[in-house]
């Protein structure tokens, strides 16, 4: 249950998502929701709970277990004047709809010389740290970052979850939303959300903590690991800047570069595998565009190049940790 405060009721990440979708369904009669068990069940995690009772089966559609069919039908609806929210029950299974996403949906605006938009949001629970093992723990955002025509966002707070979801649902282009399922109901992250309508623009990072000794760039659940590491480093007398990307595509390079002008050191943290992961993309761009500001080799901490194990000690072994981040940050600061 949310906690009452003097200024309102604190809400969790999942509630922010629910409110965003419901409010956009209310304001946009052309918005349709589709996915497995999103109607009668309300979604595997409850994000779409209550939508079918309010708007009926014509706008909240339970689909068969075929991600390719779900995305394909959604694309057809977009071509006929609808906006569509597609839920992947777990983001891991987005691979089953890969062709429809990257070869059909992502390319349509280009193929029509800009005449046709594809207002589709594909969202779903993602990420590890929760014992979901190899089929329910993936962060596969780099697959789609390599596909021009798709925007990718990873909110980390209830405020951003609601504001970025609303921005995505109003966007004329396909947007992938990675919802970190371990953040859905975290009580310590609850916050009061504005009663008035608002959006969080896509393509703009957020500086979660200011500092001048090191820049840590991250997103998703790792934001909180990095903030905890920053507290550890403050005890050592160092002040670390933590940047939450929030939006991977488009990427806010300017905020990172401005931070590096102060700190001269860069550490990138994400929970996807290292090889060809998005952390490497950030390092590469900053090496090209901000090399003159760097006083130490830029570094990254990622998941090991393995599937995510189910056994908790092994799961934590392959994923970034507060201890790893603290140790690597100290090395960069003292380089």
Q: How far is CA 196 from the centre of its chain?
A: 24
**195 Cβ neighbours under 8 A, 6+ residues apart:** 8
Q: Which residues of 98-109 are buried (b: 16+ CB within 10 A; e: fewer)?
A: bebbbebbbbbb
Adjacent-strand bridge partners of 206: 244
- Helix or strand holding residue 287 (H, E): helix 278-289
Active site residue 136: yes
Other CB atoms within 10 A of residue 45 CB? 18
Q: Indicate the SS3 state at residue 270.
A: strand
Nearest CA-CA partner of 48 in 9, 83, 20: 20
What is the DSSP secondary structure assignment for residue 131, as one 8-state letter?
A: S
Task: Please pick, among 109, 136, 225, 239, the residue that the annotation labels catalytic.
Answer: 136
How far apart CA 100 and CA 284 sit, in angstroms, is: 29
Q: For residue 159, which phi and psi values (nearest 5 degrees)?
A: -60, -50
Strands (E), the chain: 4-5, 8-11, 31-35, 60-62, 83-87, 120-126, 151-153, 175-180, 191-192, 206-209, 214-218, 240-244, 247-249, 266-273, 299-303
How far apart CA 164 and CA 305 sit, in angstroms, is: 30
List the strands of the sheet with 8-11, edge to edge. Answer: 4-5, 8-11, 191-192
Other CB atoms within 10 A of residue 213 CB? 20
Active-site residues, by number, are: 136
């Amino acid at each position: 249950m949310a906690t009452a405060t003097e200024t309102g009721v604190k809400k969790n990440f999942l509630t922010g998502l629910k409110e965003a979708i419901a409010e956009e369904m209310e304001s946009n009669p052309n918005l349709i929701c589709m996915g497995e068990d999103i109607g009668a069940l309300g979604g595997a995690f409850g994000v779409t709970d209550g939508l079918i009772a309010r708007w009926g089966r014509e706008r909240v559609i339970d689909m068969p277990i075929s991600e390719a069919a779900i995305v394909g039908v959604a694309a057809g609806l977009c071509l006929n004047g609808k906006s569509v929210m597609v839920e992947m029950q777990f983001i891991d299974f987005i691979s089953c709809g890969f062709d429809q996403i990257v070869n059909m949906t992502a390319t349509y605006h280009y193929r029509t010389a800009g005449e046709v938009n594809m207002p589709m949001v594909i969202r779903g629970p993602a990420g590890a740290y929760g014992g979901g093992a190899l089929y329910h723990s993936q962060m596969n955002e780099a697959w789609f970052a390599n596909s021009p025509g798709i925007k990718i966002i990873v909110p980390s707070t209830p405020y951003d979850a609601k504001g970025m979801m609303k921005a995505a649902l109003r966007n004329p282009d396909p947007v992938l939303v990675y919802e970190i399922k371990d953040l859905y109901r975290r009580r310590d992250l609850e916050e009061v959300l504005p009663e008035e309508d608002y959006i969080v623009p896509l393509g703009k990072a957020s500086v979660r903590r200011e500092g001048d000794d090191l820049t840590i760039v991250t997103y998703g659940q790792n934001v909180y690991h990095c903030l905890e590491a920053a507290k550890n480093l403050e005890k050592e007398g160092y002040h670390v800047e933590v940047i939450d990307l929030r939006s991977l595509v488009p990427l806010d390079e300017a905020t990172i570069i401005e931070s590096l002008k102060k700190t001269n050191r860069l550490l990138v943290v994400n929970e996807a595998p290292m090889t060809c992961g998005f952390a490497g993309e950030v390092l590469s761009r900053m090496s090209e565009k901000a090399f003159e500001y760097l006083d130490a080799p830029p570094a990254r901490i990622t998941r090991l190049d393995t599937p995510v194990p189910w056994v908790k000690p092994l799961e934590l072994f392959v994923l970034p940790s507060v201890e790893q981040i603290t140790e690597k940050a100290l090395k960069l600061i003292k380089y």
